[in-house]
């Protein structure tokens, strides 16, 4: 029998240890019953209400006298299971997406046949069951059996019977879990009980860094910040690996330092250490940004805060560690960005961040500017490598990708199509405006982003593209001058910082003029009204004028400029470009002639 067939014949068991949480258990059982072959409930208080709920769901109930040891109770439940796979939720946890639960679990098992533990993304609700302020972590909630058991009187962990290293895999959002009992668990009495159990466990089995980690968490919950820091430092100095919760140590340390009035420089050093370990989480960019505000380093602070929001908006839940970042925190970050831009005199950007703050609080941040349709346009030829990076920098913000190819022989067309671009062939005729206008004829967006293949939006600002366009649309702006950061691709040397008109409304009759150094004009020949974008909101990086390419492009440009000079009705537009081109080519005589 093939492994796939064996997987789909595996039995799945659901296990619980329950005291008196009958109604919570009812909801949890409802979320798993269609996916499992059996339900095992260990009742630690003999609650009739719990037994009644179990009867409704045909669950097998076993009474077990509570001995102040969570592992002991969990292991008792495991003795009764017959499944190859065990789902072990707490009574106050339930699957948020119960449909197709079994299929998703078995698909993971098929793809990871050696797994021991499947970590589930867990949302701990603070206010009702709202995601606005929910905290998220990963928790070991699905085990393979036989061969696993639990250790630890409290904060018990599944381990292998043979003591070998566990094989851990992470489930995606389809197996995410809601947790309704978080605020009860963080009550003072529960926390003090947990401290007593941790100390007893350490006395029985030997004190470890794991005890320090959980004790630090307890004291943080009690706001006893002076105890949090030394315990956390011991954890960081140890070789212990906290699966799914490592970043929490740093978060609690930074907040404890803030409460104890440590200096900003001390907090910044710890935040930088956290960022080095967890560069993909939004949390520590936000922490760093807030700390930099305290140091009056506002441009740096804004960059960190924008990065935090970008990572939050772009699927950071796929990362395998805990996070305190949620829509409420995102709203606070957006509010701080609005304050920074107001302080720096960037009123348009400040209004934009205020809009995002409101959207995060209303739970519709993803919908900001969604009624505005954006088209990205390119004219390309033999530049597959650059085009890939360029498209990746804007694809999340645009609705349409139009690529006019002027005769590529490399993979340029394939790259464009792989990102969903529509490619149109256009014979090259030494006329950039004609090629650009061909692209515009196919675009359907309300706004156009027209950049070159060797240009890309910087990592720190690319997440703001739709935000910048939304703000411009609201202000009645027709075109945006985007900060243009020219670098030598080979050396990284900064060649020039300037502005380039790369974003504009699509209007009937709006078009490009000029065979080279083309300019945007309206139907009546006038230049559209433009506003400059602040570099900290949006920056376009240009790599196309490296030293290697400068002469080749200069000779091409000269040929096109001279051809246009013979036919144009505006020769004065060409003279300055000719002077610049001759100067770049080292021809001082002709440069002076056209200057």
Residues 6+ apart with CB under 8 A from 203: none
Whether 435 shows a pLDDT value over 70: the answer reads yes
Question: CA dist 474 to 358, 373, 468, Å?
Answer: 16, 14, 10
The pair of three-digit structure tokens given for residue 250, joined into one six-digit string: 């740093």
Average pLDDT over residues 443-452: 94
- 534: DSSP letter: P
Distance CA 214, CA 348 (A): 46
Enumerate the β-bridge partners of residue 479.
Answer: 504, 530
Average pLDDT over residues 272-300: 94
Distance CA 385, CA 438 (A): 23
pLDDT of residue 363: 73
Q: Helix 22-32 and helix 48-56: axis angle, to 10°?
A: 20
Question: CA dist 370 to 65, 81, 356, 364, Å?
Answer: 57, 50, 13, 10
Residues 6+ apart with CB under 8 A from 36: 12, 13, 14, 83, 87, 102
Instruction: Please state the length of the chain.
Output: 595
pLDDT of residue 127: 82
- 464: DSSP letter: G
Question: CA dist 592 to 85, 236, 265, 586, Å?
Answer: 81, 66, 54, 11
Residues 6+ apart with CB under 8 A from 371: none
Q: Where are the alpha helices (DSSP H) in 79-168?
A: 101-111
Q: How many CA atoms lie within 13 A of 205 on its CB side?
A: 15
- Is the Cβ–Cβ distance between 442 and 424 less than 8 Å? yes
Whether 213 shows a pLDDT value over 70: the answer reads yes
Helix, strand, or coil (residue 481): strand
Residue 555 banded pLDDT, cuts 50, 70, 90: low
Average pLDDT over residues 455-482: 89
Distance CA 9, CA 81 (A): 16
**Domains within the chain, CATH numbers bracketed:** 3-185 (3.90.550.10), 243-367 (1.25.40.10), 374-545 (3.90.550.10), 548-594 (no CATH)
Q: How many CA atoms lie within 13 A of 232 on its CB side?
A: 26
pLDDT of residue 558: 64
Q: Of 116-125, 131-140, 514-523, give the range with the top mean pLDDT.
A: 116-125
Which of 279, 275, 284 minimizes the C-alpha distance to 255? 284
pLDDT of residue 457: 95
Distance CA 478, CA 483 (A): 17
pLDDT of residue 552: 60
pLDDT digits (tens, 9 = 90+) for 372-392: 899 999 999 999 999 999 999
Whether 405 shows a pLDDT value over 90: the answer reads yes
Whether 318 shows a pLDDT value over 60: the answer reads no
Average pLDDT over residues 304-321: 79
Average pLDDT over residues 569-590: 66
Which of 183, 40, 16 minimizes the C-alpha distance to 90? 16
Cα–chain-centroid distance for residue 251? Answer: 18
- Is the Cβ–Cβ distance between 357 and 334 less than 8 Å? yes
Enumerate the β-bridge partners of residue 16.
Answer: 41
Whether 572 shows a pLDDT value over 80: the answer reads no
Whether 551 shows a pLDDT value over 70: the answer reads no
- Is the Cβ–Cβ distance between 228 and 220 less than 8 Å? yes
Question: CA dist 3 to 7, 116, 447, Å?
Answer: 6, 17, 52
Whether 54 shows a pLDDT value over 90: the answer reads yes
Element (H, E) at 374: strand 374-380
Q: Helix 246-259 and helix 264-277: axis angle, to 10°?
A: 170
Distance CA 314, CA 395 (A): 12
Whether 467 shows a pLDDT value over 90: the answer reads no
Q: What is the pTM of this model?
A: 0.64
- Burial of residue 27, with CB atoms counted within 10 A of its CB: 0-12 exposed, 13-18 middle, 19 or more buried: middle
pLDDT of residue 370: 62
Which of 238, 194, 243, 200 minimizes the C-alpha distance to 220? 194
pLDDT of residue 534: 85
- Is the Cβ–Cβ distance between 57 and 35 less than 8 Å? no
Distance CA 356, CA 368 (A): 7
Distance CA 472, CA 530 (A): 10
Residue 548 banded pLDDT, cuts 50, 70, 90: very low
Average pLDDT over residues 103-115: 93
Residues 6+ apart with CB under 8 A from 72: 153
Residue 550 banded pLDDT, cuts 50, 70, 90: low
Bridge-based pairing state of the strands 177-179 and 38-43:
unpaired
- 127: DSSP letter: S
- Is the Cβ–Cβ distance between 319 and 280 less than 8 Å? yes
pLDDT of residue 460: 86
- Is the Cβ–Cβ distance between 354 and 467 less than 8 Å? no
Among 24-33, 149-158, 238-247, the least confident range: 238-247
């Amino acid at each position: 029998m093939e492994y796939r067939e064996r997987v789909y014949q595996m039995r799945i068991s659901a296990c619980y240890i329950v005291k008196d949480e009958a109604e919570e258990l009812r909801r949890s059982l409802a979320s798993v019953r269609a996916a499992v072959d059996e339900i095992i409930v260990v009742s630690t208080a003999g609650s009739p209400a719990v037994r009644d709920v179990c009867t409704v769901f045909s669950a097998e109930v076993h009474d077990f006298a509570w001995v102040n040891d969570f592992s002991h109770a969990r292991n008792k439940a495991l003795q009764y299971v017959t499944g190859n796979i065990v789902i072990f939720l707490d009574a106050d946890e339930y699957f948020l997406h119960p449909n197709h639960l079994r299929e998703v679990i078995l698909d993971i098992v098929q793809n990871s046949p050696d797994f021991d533990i499947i970590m589930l993304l867990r949302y701990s609700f603070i206010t009702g069951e709202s995601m606005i302020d929910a905290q998220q972590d990963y928790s070991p909630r699905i085990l393979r059996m036989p061969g696993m058991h639990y250790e630890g009187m409290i904060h018990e962990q599944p381990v292998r019977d043979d003591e070998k290293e566990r094989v851990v895999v992470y489930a995606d959002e389809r197996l995410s879990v809601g947790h309704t009992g978080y605020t009860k668990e963080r009550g003072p009495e529960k926390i003090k009980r947990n401290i007593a159990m941790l100390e007893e466990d350490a006395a029985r089995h030997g004190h470890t860094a794991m005890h320090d980690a959980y004790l630090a968490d307890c004291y943080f919950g009690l706001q006893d910040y002076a105890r949090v820091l030394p315990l956390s430092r011991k954890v960081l100095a140890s070789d212990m690996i906290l699966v799914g919760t490592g970043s929490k140590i740093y978060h609690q340390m930074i907040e404890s330092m803030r409460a104890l009035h440590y200096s900003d420089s001390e907090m910044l050093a710890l935040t930088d250490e956290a960022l080095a370990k967890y560069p993909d989480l939004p949390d520590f960019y936000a922490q760093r940004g807030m700390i930099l505000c305290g140091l009056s380093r506002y441009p740096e602070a804004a960059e960190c805060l924008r990065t935090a929001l970008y990572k939050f908006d772009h699927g950071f839940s796929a990362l395998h560690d805990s996070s305190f970042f949620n829509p409420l925190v995102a709203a606070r970050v957006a509010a701080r960005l609005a304050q920074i831009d107001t302080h720096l005199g960037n009123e348009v950007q400040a209004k934009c961040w205020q809009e995002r703050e409101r959207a995060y609080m209303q739970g519709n941040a993803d919908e900001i500017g969604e009624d505005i349709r954006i088209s990205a346009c390119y004219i390309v030829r033999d530049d597959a490598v650059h085009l890939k990076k360029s498209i990746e920098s804007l694809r999340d913000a645009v609705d349409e990708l139009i690529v006019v190819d002027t005769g590529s022989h490399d993979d340029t067309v394939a790259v464009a199509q792989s990102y969903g671009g529509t490619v149109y062939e256009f014979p090259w005729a030494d006329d950039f405006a004609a090629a650009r206008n061909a692209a515009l004829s196919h675009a359907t967006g309300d706004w156009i982003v027209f950049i070159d293949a060797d240009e890309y939006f910087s990592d720190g600002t690319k997440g703001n593209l739709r935000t910048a366009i939304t703000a411009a649309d609201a202000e009645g702006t027709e075109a945006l001058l985007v900060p243009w950061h020219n670098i030598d691709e080979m050396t990284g040397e900064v060649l020039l910082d300037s502005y380039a008109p790369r974003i504009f409304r699509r209007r009937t009759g709006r078009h490009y003029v000029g065979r080279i150094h083309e300019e945007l004009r309206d139907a009546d020949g006038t230049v559209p009204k433009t506003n400059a974008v602040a570099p900290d909101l949006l920056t376009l990086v240009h790599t196309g004028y490296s030293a290697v390419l400068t002469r080749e492009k200069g000779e091409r440009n000269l040929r096109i400029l001279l051809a246009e000079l013979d036919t144009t009705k505006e020769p004065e537009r060409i003279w300055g470009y000719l002077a610049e081109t001759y100067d770049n080519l080292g021809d001082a005589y002709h440069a002076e002639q056209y200057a």
